[in-house]
Structure 1
Amino acid sequence: MKTLAIETSCDETSIAVIEDGRKILSNIISTQIETHKKFGGVVPEIASRMHVEVISQILKNALEDANIGLNDIDFISVTEGPGLVGALLVGMSFAKALSYSLDIPLIGVNHIKGHICANYISHKNLEPPFIALVISGGHTYLVDVTGYDEYKVIGRTRDDAVGEAFDKVARALGLPYPGGPMIDKLSKVGNPEAINFPRVYLEVNSYDFSFSGLKTAILNYLNQMKQKNETITIEDVAASFQMAVIDVLSEKTFRLLNETKRNKLAIAGGVAANSGIRDIFTKKALEKGIELFIPDMNLCTDNAAMIGSAGYYSYISGKKSTLGLKVDANLSL
């Protein structure tokens, strides 16, 4: 069963052809990073316009790579949210047009579910139940995945998402956009114990996250160092910040695994590409006897393949959308 999947939630235009939810026949991604870099972040209006400019060509490339035609597609999967409303509308309008003209079903997909389902593509042996840690530019979730289309949110960020905190700290350090990869790169040569930044765990037994206080602590540290005219070693700031984030993420995640008696953990989202997070979670999972799943690097960032996987599992569970489907920029899991 083949689905044509469309993802335009932010600044990547992506179309993929996925077979039976786990096999990639094609996965074309057109990124806008170089365009938005000069602005220090994604400009929504520009992102929407660029989606419109390239989406037809991306479809053509995806079909050519998969070596199939539109008539070979069984249904359409498309991101309905969360994301930038203008960007989402481009993908949704395109998906509806294809669904209507081909007379095949339309499946709206939650972008966060897509990130989790990226693990099904990279790991053919992964099956629910498992705990998922979703860490991306706009989202931070701890989720108990009880079925292929059954998700129970256990914890979420109360303010900044992990990726958002990375980008803001990078900007404060004068690093170029996107900041996350730069923080990760600098952390490899910095001392993670150089600066004792706060670890915010919130209430006892809480699985929610808060990273705004950590971000503020770093801004205060940078201002104080400048006022004292002291040298700022950005490698140490980056490493200390990253370790503070990892400590909070790992403490809550492995505590939840222990409490729920789950022995499988899947990490998902753009920040799952961070080498420090990958290394420490791999080490701790091995120590605690937890089976760890992390998507291939190209499936961590926004892509249509993950939307196709999530759409497949929604489709076989009996869910279908109508042409009245609307985008939701703030769609929750």
Structure 2
Amino acid sequence: MSITVLGIETSCDETSAAILVDGVDLRSNIIASQIDTHKKFGGVVPEVASRKHLENVNPVILEALDKAGATLADLDAVAVTYGPGLVGALLVGVAAAKALAYALDIPLIGVNHLEGHISANFLVRPELEFPLLCLVVSGGHTDLVYMPHRGSYQLLGRTRDDAAGEAFDKVARAMGLGYPGGPLIDKLSKEGDPNAIKLPRAFLEEGSLDFSFSGLKSAVLNYLNRAGQRKEEVNKADLAASFQRAVVEVLVEKTFIAAQGCGVKTIMLAGGVAANRSLRERLLLRAAEAGCRVVFPPLDLCTDNAAMIACAGYYKYLRSDFAGLTLNAVPGLALGQDQYEGPENQGQMSLESRHKEKKI
């Protein structure tokens, strides 16, 4: 019997819904982006994002069902991002998912946004064997995660200040490139010399797998300020290439130190910055040298989307990892620590017990 999961994602500025069958058959993945709305502000405005989600969530869900040729009656479960993210944005998706789960009497599955990003790899490569190491790089997170088996996450390193994607956005804004910064810097860097401008690499103390990009960001801002004071023209392509190289070198180096320490032969890349051309190329180059394998999702599954949430939800469905209707948004949710709140969520029902309840 096939399992059909509706995924809902509203953690930041994309309203998305997807229909996924049996974990690999993606019937639809609809994304309503708010980039044009937030571009004039140079970044995401939480209150504006929440209001746009309210406008978009129902039409996006209906469009996902229509494109998949499915109806609400075909759904076996609804999976939704409940953290981490912007609390107002998360609440919109969680409320919609809870309403559907209650009305249809199907399981509600709470998904960690980072677990969703990691699961994007399983959408296209369900055969991946554990243990695995994943570098999660996005606007809000830069994490090295060891996965001894499915559903188990051990955080080896994380950013101590700015996430890599956040640094890209701030540097792009300082350079006058616009928003979102990552794709703009990546595109411009193709025209520049990555060795033209000397910028720092923060490897931190010996043995640390944590990241820090605040100092690098400050170095770029100082470079721009000094050039402005001296009325010197800045070669933006060289600066973009040099900045990107500084970020990528640290990400790649720490990833392979972690892989060697864990004895892992397969490395996954996930998150919005996983779309970065230079990061992909240097990871593949190092993997060839080290005899490892590097995999990453297609570009359309790197940024926030509901397909990855549905995939994570599918595997949680298989192990009967359900939430109750008191599920709440948890903006600071930690990876691997489900924080279902309330008595209904404390005793998550197994499939067998749930079916018994339905019969009664």
- Aligned 1:289-304 pairs, distance under 5 A: 289-304=291-306
Inter-partner Cα distance in structure 2 for 1:6 and 1:271: 21
Given that 1:191 and 1:235 are in contact with CA atoms closer than 8 Å, whether structure 2 keeps it comes out as yes
Inter-partner Cα distance in structure 2 for 1:25 and 1:285: 33
Letter of the aligned partner of 1:9 in structure 2?
S
Inter-partner Cα distance in structure 1 for 2:182 and 2:27: 30
Deviation at 1:318, TM superposition (A): 2.5
Deviations 1:82-128 (A, max 9, x none): 11111100000000000000000101000000000000012232232
- Aligned 1:3-82 pairs, distance under 5 A: 3-82=5-84
Given that 1:118 and 1:305 are in contact with CA atoms closer than 8 Å, whether structure 2 keeps it comes out as yes
| 2:320 aligned partner | 318
Inter-partner Cα distance in structure 2 for 1:102 and 1:292: 40
- Aligned 1:189-268 pairs, distance under 5 A: 189-268=191-270
Deviation at 1:313, TM superposition (A): 1.4
Letter of the aligned partner of 2:208 in structure 1?
S
- TM superposition score normalised by structure 2: 0.91
Deviations 1:21-74 (A, max 9, x none): 222111111101111111111111111111111211111111111111111111
Q: Stretches of 4+ moved more than 2 A in 1?
A: none
Q: Which runs of 5+ in 1 are unaligned?
A: none
Letter of the aligned partner of 1:206 in structure 2?
S
| 1:99 aligned partner | 101
Inter-partner Cα distance in structure 1 for 2:192 and 2:97: 46
Deviations 1:140-186 (A, max 9, x none): 00000122211111000000000000000001101111111110011
SS of corresponding position for 1:18: strand
SS of corresponding position for 1:42: coil
Letter of the aligned partner of 2:143 in structure 1?
Y
Inter-partner Cα distance in structure 1 for 2:260 and 2:160: 23
Inter-partner Cα distance in structure 1 for 2:46 and 2:124: 31
Does residue 170 (structure 1) correspond to residue 172 (structure 2)? The answer is yes
| 1:332 aligned partner | 334
Q: Which runs of 5+ in 2 are unaligned?
A: 336-360
- TM superposition score normalised by structure 1: 0.98
Deviation at 1:293, TM superposition (A): 0.7
Relative CO higher for 1 or 2, CA cutoff 8 Å, sep ≥ 6?
1
SS of corresponding position for 1:50: helix
Does residue 108 (structure 1) correspond to residue 99 (structure 2)? The answer is no
Letter of the aligned partner of 2:117 in structure 1?
H
Deviation at 1:239, TM superposition (A): 0.4
SS of corresponding position for 1:16: strand
SS of corresponding position for 1:147: coil
| 2:181 aligned partner | 179
Deviation at 1:314, TM superposition (A): 1.6
SS of corresponding position for 1:325: coil
| Aligned residues between the structures | 333
| 2:355 aligned partner | none
Given that 1:48 and 1:90 are in contact with CA atoms closer than 8 Å, whether structure 2 keeps it comes out as yes
Given that 1:149 and 1:317 are in contact with CA atoms closer than 8 Å, whether structure 2 keeps it comes out as no
| 2:273 aligned partner | 271
Letter of the aligned partner of 1:71 in structure 2?
A
SS of corresponding position for 1:25: strand
Inter-partner Cα distance in structure 2 for 1:80 and 1:119: 20
SS of corresponding position for 2:18: strand
Inter-partner Cα distance in structure 2 for 1:278 and 1:214: 21
